[in-house]
Structure 1
């Protein structure tokens, strides 16, 4: 981000945070009116502004550090956790207070029209509304605390059975375990990694695939965990692709050569974990004399690096063949894959993380990321072509998960 862009961003953060702090302060003032001690009330007001004014300054200083350093470190990640927790909590509170203000203004207008200016008094805030606002706002607050401390390690296995008319009979019941978006630079504890690895191993799938973003920025981030991922075995092999973070594009490098050496090292790390890295190419998986084509492309995404070459990866495959594509960004499926004349029956992606925040119930499925990606988690289908978007193994930037838990996917292929 250039200097002007950084300045505008920091100003926007200052104004937005100050607005939220001021609005929530109205609830604090309303509730404190019940206190008999004026000195205590004033002390609460001063403490509120010292705490939240200090937090706002922390936001600004840390965002400036991120711009200057070019990457999110452990210390700056802590600020992002607090920023998201506080902002979402305050926004929920403000919704109630703003709604009350609309009602108060309508009441004031009616009162003025009916009674005139002589006896006019603007309606005061209701204590019960401020109480309700703070109580409801406590829900996202404690949800974020849980997500930061526990939720980001709350691995879930998602199983999908998908039926295909053109699936070779030998592959009826064939299983694929998918992991994605490890973001190893965000992990510090091998025991947490092992929890997810053990879940993946326990599935006993025929094939294991990894769909990109092994690291946050640097190849060295995965080194403490190489042996753990190497221990996952699959009888028909382990295959992987690159994600947008794997190219090292989001941090400054001393020179071009250093960046290229990091990239080459990262590709070698895949081999050290037992993965065959697919770079715009395909391999044939054979079972009982029948075959399917497993295709892997480099990252291709709308708004991100679009280096993947699907045409090159498909070279040598035939239209009637059953194909599975590994492509990190699900926007690739929307923009190119599902329209391609050489049909790909199943695409496996990741990338979105489900934004690590949202609601998933049998009735409601929502995350802010859906306004950017129409297919952001789970299974999608169009004209008999399927996409599965994994919610991610790890986390990045926001060191937590709220409602969108880390995922191990198991896909079972069945003959229709």
Structure 2
């Protein structure tokens, strides 16, 4: 992971250097050139400082979020406009290194301006620019009664980041409008503290599904990312969060399973606590959660972190047909156009957004309903997933 992070930082640095060439082509004003680097150094120094103080409190975390947004506004436009300057440099090599073209530098600057405006949209309107994403998944052994059964999945609410009640209500109304049979929430209801949900409880209570609402915990729900006065205070916070799940009508599954019945047939819905690789806590216990589930049951698992699927679920002794996860947010930044998708998070998680199949088992990774860190979304929009289960297909590994 450290190598991948270093690569990303290198890309930012190279993009910054290249864009500076356009600046020096368009202006020789020493104060403007000095300001260019001063702003960069100030932002990077601030980011490093707040990362080291991350657990110091909520104010530091808010500052970190603002700095991340500022860095995206400054660096990403430079990075995306740098290829224009790179192509010019390749041409200049074959032409004996003539002076840089002012025209090309102006094009690079215009491209940077366009990307800047896209980012502005992302951090203002993008946080509630919800997308309904639908998938139909075929299983040869799906009980006949569940043929056509629909699931709405929400994930990563991060209520502590919300400030726009109308924006949040818009997303919840869209979720209800899907009229799904089952509504599942795959973790991270809050950023740190249960009290972040207080004003949003009535809204989330209005979420409906004919076969019920179920949920699991995510890594942020345990309160691990801030300092508490005592272990007792931290434990009390988690207990309060569990109560909030119940108050909003969600059955919280803690390494356990329930049966969903329809027309005399059943499927097993399993929920584990958070389990993640790379330093995240591994509270989840799939073996315990499936202890009472018959081997021949059709199984749907809710597990917040998609790394759990790769590391545990795929090779679990029981066949788990479908796993629903979240956690990655698609890094809240990337490109999704005409079937193509890319985000820097792909260098950290093999499965980071959408549907995956391995050994005849499926994983769906939700891009998240809310936002955290970056105060918005750019290209990877907030998601309401609607999954339709169908009977059929070979069930062979992809």
Q: TM-score, normalised by structure 2?
A: 0.89
| Pair 1:25 & 2:1 matched | no
Check whether the contact 1:175–1:410 (CA below 8 A) recurs between aligned residues: yes
2:259 counterpart residue number: 284
For the residues of structure 1 that align with 2:54 and 2:378, how far apart are their CA atoms?
28
Aligned residue in 1 for 2:77: 89
Q: CA deviation at 1:23?
A: 4.3
Deviations 1:69-97 (A, max 9, x none): 52554344222111112111122334433
* Residues 151, 400 of structure 1: 8 Å contact kept: yes
Secondary structure of 2:53's aligned partner: helix
CA 1:99–1:168: 2 relative to 1, 3 Å: same
- CA–CA distance in structure 1, aligned partners of residues 177 and 17 of structure 2: 51
Aligned counterparts of 2:119 and 2:112: Cα–Cα separation in 1: 11
Bigger Cα displacement from structure 2, 291-300 vs 260-269: 260-269
2:46 corresponds to 1:61: yes
Q: Is this contact kept in 2: 1:346–1:386, CA < 8 A?
A: yes
Question: Does the CA-based 8 Å contact 2:187-2:221 persist in structure 1?
Answer: yes
Q: Tell me the equivalent position of 1:111.
A: none
Q: 1:265 aligns with which of 226, 240, 246?
A: 240
Give the Cα separation in 2 of the matches to 1:317 and 1:68: 44
Alignment of 1:207-286 (within 5 A): 207-286=182-261
Asked if 1 retains the 8 angstrom alpha-carbon contact of 2:149 and 2:181, the reply is yes
Tell me by how many angstroms 1:234 deviates.
Answer: 1.4
Aligned to 1:385: 361
Q: For the structure 1 residues 343 and 21, does the alpha-carbon distance in structure 2 shift closer, same or farther, using more than 3 Å as the test?
A: closer
Whether the aligned pair in 1 keeps the contact of 2:11 and 2:79 (CA below 8 Å) is no
Could you tell me which residue of structure 2 aligns to residue 366 of structure 1?
Answer: 342
| Alignment partner of 1:355 is 2:350 | no
Q: C-alpha distance in 1, partners of 2:40/2:338? A: 37
> What is the aligned partner in structure 2 of residue 36 from structure 1?
none
- 2:67 corresponds to: 79
* 1:67 CA drift (Å): 2.6
CA contact (8 A) 1:299 1:305 kept: yes
* CA distance 1:288–1:278, change in 2 (3 Å): same
Instruction: Report if the CA contact (8 A) 2:12-2:79 is conserved.
Output: no
Aligned to 1:35: none
Query: Is the contact made by 2:150 and 2:388 (CA closer than 8 Å) also made in structure 1?
Result: yes
Structure 2 segments unaligned to the other structure (5+ residues): 393-398
Is 1:188 the counterpart of 2:189? The answer is no
Counterpart in the other structure of 2:315: 339
- Of 45-54 and 395-404, deviating more is 45-54
Relative to 1, partners in 2 of residues 1:383 and 1:55: Cα closer, same or farther, differing over 3 Å?
closer
Map Cα deviations across residues 237-294 of structure 1 (whole Å, 9 max, x no partner).
Answer: 1100011111111122222222111111111111111111100000011111111100
Assess, with a 3 A threshold, how the Cα gap between structure 1 residues 339 and 19 changes in structure 2: closer, same or farther: closer
Contact 1:230 1:274 in 2 (8 A): yes
Q: Deviations over 1:135-176 (max 9, x none)?
A: 222332221111111111100111111111111111111111
Q: Name the CA distance, whole Å, in 2 between partners of 1:165 and 1:18.
A: 50
2:314 aligns to what SS in structure 1?
Answer: helix
What root-mean-square deviation, in Å, do the aligned CA atoms of Structure 1 and Structure 2 show? 2.4
Residue 330 (str. 1) matches residue 306 (str. 2): yes
Give matches, 1:65-214, under 5 Å. 65-70=50-55, 72-101=60-89, 104=92, 108=96, 123-214=98-189
Q: Is the 8 A contact 1:17 1:56 kept in 2?
A: no
Deviation, structure 1 residue 48: 4.9
C-alpha deviations, 1:182-219, integer Å up to 9, x for none? 01111112111101110011111111110001111111
3-state SS of the aligned residue for 1:282? Answer: strand
| Partner in structure 1 of residue 395 of structure 2 | none
1:234 alignment partner, SS class? coil
Could you tell me whether the CA contact under 8 Å between 2:127 and 2:377 is conserved in 1?
A: yes
Give 3-state SS (helix, strand or coil) of 1:160's partner. strand
Partner SS, residue 339 of structure 1: coil
1:21–1:52 Cα contact (<8 Å) kept? no
